[in-house]
Chain A
Amino acid sequence: MNELITINQATKKFGAIVAVDDFSVKIPKGVIVGLLGPNGSGKTTLIKILNGLLTCDSGEALINGMPPSPETKAIISYLPDRNYFDDWMTVNDILSLFETFYEDFNRAKAEAMLEDLRIDPKQRFKHLSKGTKEKVQLVMVMSRNAQLYLLDEPIGGVDPATRDYIINTIIKNYNPDATVLISTHLISDVENVLDEVIFIQEGRMVLQSPVDEIREKKGLSVDALFREVFKC
């Protein structure tokens, strides 16, 4: 099959804590997938495994059939759940950094997005608000022409208008050969742009289903189903 991501029985422990537990999934090319789960359910760990920042204790993760490696990193555009730019850098410095590091980076596209979001590229990163920092990171990540976008909580820290802009950017950026994996717990905001969702709880796969299949079979939105499944 035309799978972009294959995870086979991956397990990752941190001491006594099992962050990812015997997790298996297949994700094809050309889809936008929501990785949904409550806080601490293993979303970030899973994304870091795909990205090669963590290795599984057992099982395997493959991207385009390859284990995480410099080769797979070149085709993955990753938005981490925290800021990783140095404070003294200006936005322009970051643009140049991305241009140097990633062959697939489209600087003109990034500059246009920064302008849309009214972010001055001459600003130093440390002078930006928390939300604006997140916007800059997202602009960088979405301006690469990657095959796999791993977005860890891309809308958590920004205002609703910016959320709309980000969601619009994801739609605009849609490419039948690329896959977008979005981890979030803000489901109602992203539900309409997702092809399918994966529910994760305590490191285990609870459900993988197309969004419209959930709506068709259960008469529930993904958001409503999530609230039901993860009821406290």
Chain B
Amino acid sequence: MKWRIDSNSPIYRQLMEYIVIHIVSGRYVPGERLPSVRDLAEIAAVNPNTMQKALTELEKEGLVYSQRTTGRFVTQDKELIQKKKKNIALHEIDTFLTKMESMGFSRNEIRQLIREAQEETSSE
């Protein structure tokens, strides 16, 4: 996955989001050792201090933890990962609903449209 940094929000927060997506999608599995700060900075093409900050923030949230000598790991707390995953989904849905409602769709119409869209994809 190519890391795309957009121009409006702080870079470290966008890096946090990328790493979280890697974790909730299972690309980084619970207990897995993360690449070093330096390697992650290189992969994302960002400043190593900014990557460090992103990881420190994720540590505060409990999604990763570090062990003094061996590096940084994804949390083993699967419940926390599931909770985070659900939060991201709710946030995405909220964004979607806000946009649809701003175009004048009612909740019922939106539900109907989703059903239609699903039928279309399954019939393809």
Contacts and interface: CB of A to CB of B under 8 A. Distances in A.
Q: Is the interface of B mostly helix, strand, loop or mixed?
A: helix
The contact size tier of chain A is 20 to 34
A75 B95 CA distance: 52
B10 A221 contact: no
B9 interface: yes
B56 to A, nearest CB: 13
A120 B46 CA distance: 30
Given A174-B38, A212-B12, A212-B50, A168 B45 contact: yes
A172 B49 CA distance: 12
Contact of A220 (B8, B46, B47): B8
Contact of B42 (A31, A168, A188): A168
B47 A172 contact: no
Contacts of A171: 38, 41-42, 45-48
A136 to B, nearest CB: 23
Interface string A205-229: 0000001100110011101100000
B45 A192 contact: yes
Nearest to B48: A174
Contacts of B47: 32, 171, 174, 192-195, 211
Contact of A30 (B7, B46, B49): B49
Contact of A212 (B11, B38, B45): B11
A198 B8 CA distance: 19
Contacts of A32: 47, 49
Contacts of A195: 47, 49-50
Q: Which 6 A-B pairs have the closest CB atoms?
A: A221-B7, A212-B10, A215-B10, A192-B46, A174-B48, A193-B47
Given A164-B45, A215-B8, 6 more contacts: A168-B45, A171-B42, A174-B41, A211-B50, A215-B10, A220-B7
